Amino acid sequence: MPETLQNFQVKPSASLNRPRRAHAWHERLVSGLGHLRLAGLRFFWAGLLGRRCSFGKDVRIYECVKLAVESGGNLQLGRSVALQQGVVIAVKSGARVEIQDEGYIGEYTVIASHASITIGSGVLIGPHCSVVDYNHSFRDKLRRMDPAQVESHPVVIGENAWIGAGCRILAGVHIGEGSVIGAGAVVTHDIPAFAIAVGSPAKILKYRE
């Protein structure tokens, strides 16, 4: 694991899984600061140092969530954001991921940013999705693929959108407010507000009434 990446895994809120005794004082400290109830806080604080991270009130982070925020990366989780089991959020140096109030990220979804990913308030993202804002540089066919060489374009998901299970949201896409993306869609172009789009590449099926 690169030294610049600080990973931390956290347990679910106390109502679902009582934190281990050894972390009881951590619990009290955290709930006083941000209403987060997390075990493994030692790692949590280490993750915050040198990084710009903020967590709103009543954020819920479930088992095996991985927040990999590089130094110089910026992660913002708004009020009542829920990160379900196995979610991975990777924020590269200079990049920014923001999940606004009451955002819900389903199990094993991956959000990876080299630039900027903004997920609006009330957005529901189903399980096993990916939201990425970069491509690896591939134009020069003679050049060896290099994980560090990317072309990135911001992604925005408007408020109250619903992204069905297993969707792929690709670089540069803007998904409009209140739109619905059907299960398994690959979104390569912008989707207007209140559209229902399905397929690969995602096409508009109809609009919400």
> Which residues contribute to the site for ligand COA (CB under 6 A)?
106, 126, 164-165, 180, 182-184, 196, 198-199, 205
Contacts by residues 97-106 (CB-CB < 8 Å, ≥ 24 positions apart): 97/73, 98/74, 99/123, 100/159, 101/56, 102/78, 103/77, 103/78, 105/81, 106/165
Report the nearest approach of ligand COA to the CB of residue 159 (Å).
17
Closer residue to ligand COA in complex, CB, 110/196: 196
Q: How near is the Cβ of 188 to ligand COA at its closest, in Å?
A: 15
Reference 35, options 59, 9, 11; nearest CA is 59
Q: How far is the CB of 189 from ligand COA (least distance, A)?
A: 16
Whose Cβ is closer to ligand COA: residue 73's or residue 164's? 164
Nearer to ligand COA, 27 or 107 (CB): 107
Rg (CA), the chain: 18
Please tell me which residue in 26, 136, 153, 174 is annotated as part of the active site: 136
33: amino acid identity, one letter: L
Q: What are phi and psi of 136, to 5 degrees?
A: -75, 145
Q: Find out whether 73 and 33 touch, Cβ atoms under 8 Å.
A: no
Distance CA 28, CA 147 (A): 40
136 belongs to the catalytic site:
yes
Closest approach, Cβ 111 to ligand COA, in A, equals: 15
Residue 106 or 176 having the CB closest to ligand COA? 106
CB 183 within 8 A of CB 128: no
**From CA 142, how far away is CA 111, in angstroms rounded?**
30
Active site residues: 136
